[in-house]
Amino acid sequence: MYKITPFVKWAGGKSQILNEIIARLPDTYDDYYEPFIAGGAVLFAIQPHNAKINDINTQLINTFNQLKYSPDKVISAVKDLDGTVCDKEYYYRNRDRYNEKIKNGILDEETAGLFIWLNKHCFNGLYRVNNKGLFNVPYNNKTDGSSMVEDNLKDIGIYLKNVEIYNLDFGDFCKSVKENDFVYFDSPYIPESETADFTSYTKGGFGLEEHKRLAELYKELDKRGAKLMLSNNDVDLVYELYDGFKIDSFDVKRMINRDAENRTGREVIVTNY
Ligand SMILES: C[S@@+](CC[C@H](N)C(=O)[O-])C[C@H]1O[C@@H](n2cnc3c(N)ncnc32)[C@H](O)[C@@H]1O
């Protein structure tokens, strides 16, 4: 097993609580399911044998697929982009190129290369799209640096060869979960203080209704005999939704601004085993 790490920085990346997750993994299970894969920090750390991964973000999933089937082409696409020192004009030109790909529905190795490159040059590594589905994160004003670690991408490509990759809603993805499979859920978190945005239904967002739907699924899969782990913020709603399951709580450091000034928050891990 090679050491591999996420190829993108993603909001809510799990690197910080990885040890807490690994310490609580079940001893044995059949298939591994991860319905909200995002950057893949947990998957890459444990590299399970029979893994199925999923995310609703089509561009992210295209990048996983391109790394699985054509890692060398993705690497040369990123190398081409890194061949020019990034300035504002270059950033916005490439962002436009990427959005043209989205508009035309082109999911190829160049789109994947742009996805990786933009993640390194956009503000805070955010992934945000406008109401037309176009990427709209501004430039982070950094000119330097390679946008990838080539060997890491190659090793990711090797590992992904045996991973099944899906682009579905989490409910559809989990339909095939069986007794003794393991599912790790890392959905968008419930905000530490609930906002109007969260409690009212927002199209495409992950609000209260989605969290209720996720908790229903958790209970259904529990009855099916699957082993389940879920992470979230330590907020009252989680204790209501997952009443009766094991809930462990611990401190995490949170970055609140670009100067990396830290403050502490609390997160939970909910398990049914
Ligand atoms: C970023 S991770 C969560 C990270 C962390 N829990 C947090 O909020 O800080 C959430 C992932 O879920 C995906 N996602 C959102 N809604 C989804 C849905 N209905 N089905 C599957 N994936 C979804 C997003 O695209 C994203 O990659």
Report the percent of the chain where pLDDT is more than 70: 93
51 shares a domain with 71: no
Q: pLDDT of 123-151, one tens digit each?
A: 988 888 888 889 999 999 988 778 999 99
Last residue of a domain, one of 157, 178, 203: 157
CATH number of the domain that residue 265 is part of: 3.40.50.150
Residues 58-113 pLDDT 10s: 999 999 999 999 999 999 999 999 999 999 999 999 999 999 999 999 999 999 99
Rounded alpha-carbon distances, angstroms, from residue 85 to 105, 144, 145, 176: 28, 7, 9, 46
CATH assignment at residue 145:
1.10.1020.10
The model carries a pTM of 0.94
Per the structure, how many domains does the chain have? 2
The answer to whether the CB of 26 falls within 8 A of the CB of 273 is yes
Q: Is residue 1 part of a domain?
A: no
- 130, 157, 184: which is the final residue of a domain? 157
DSSP 144-187: -S-S--HHHHHHHHHHHTT-EEE-S-HHHHGGG--TT-EEEE-P
Find all residues with CB under 8 Å of 236, minimum gap 6, and list them.
none
Res. 12: pLDDT tops 80: no
Residue 57 clears pLDDT 60, i.e. is over it? yes
**198 CB near ligand 1 (under 6 Å):** no
| Over residues 221-239, mean pLDDT | 97
Query: How much distance in Å is there from the Cα of 12 to the middle of ligand 1?
Result: 9
Q: From the CA of 80, how far away is ligand 1's center (Å)?
A: 30
Domain boundary among 105, 129, 157: 157
State whether 177 and 236 are in the same domain: yes
Q: How far apart are CA 183 and CA 214, in angstroms?
A: 12
Rounded distance from Cα 121 to ligand 1 centre (Å):
22
27 Cβ contact partners less than 8 Å away, ≥ 6 residues apart: none
User: Does ligand 1 lie within 6 Å of residue 129's CB atom?
Assistant: no
Same domain, 128 and 192: no
Give the residue-averaged pLDDT of 230-243: 96
Q: Can you say whether residue 144 is alpha, beta or left, with left for phi > 0 and alpha for psi between -120 and 50 degrees?
A: beta
Question: Judging by beta carbons within 10 Å of its beta carbon (0-12, 13-18, 19+), is residue 108 exposed, middle or buried?
Answer: middle
Residues 36/186, Cβ–Cβ less than 8 Å: yes
pLDDT of residue 139: 95
Residues 135, 91: Cα–Cα separation, whole Å: 12
- Ligand 1 pocket test: pick from 15, 20, 55 the residue with the most ligand atoms within 8 Å of its Cβ: 55
**What distance in angstroms lies between residue 204's CA and the mean position of ligand 1's atoms?**
11
What domain range includes position 199? 15-56+168-271
Round to whole Å and give the CA distance between 203 and 198. 11
Instruction: Convert the pLDDT of each residue in 150-163 to its tens digit.
Output: 999 999 999 999 99
Q: Do 114 and 38 share a structural domain? A: no
Q: Is 57 in the pocket of ligand 1 (CB under 6 A)?
A: yes
For residue 190, how far is its CA from the centre of ligand 1 (angstroms)?
11
Burial of 57 (0-12, 13-18, 19+ CB in 10 A): middle
216 lies in the same domain as 245: yes
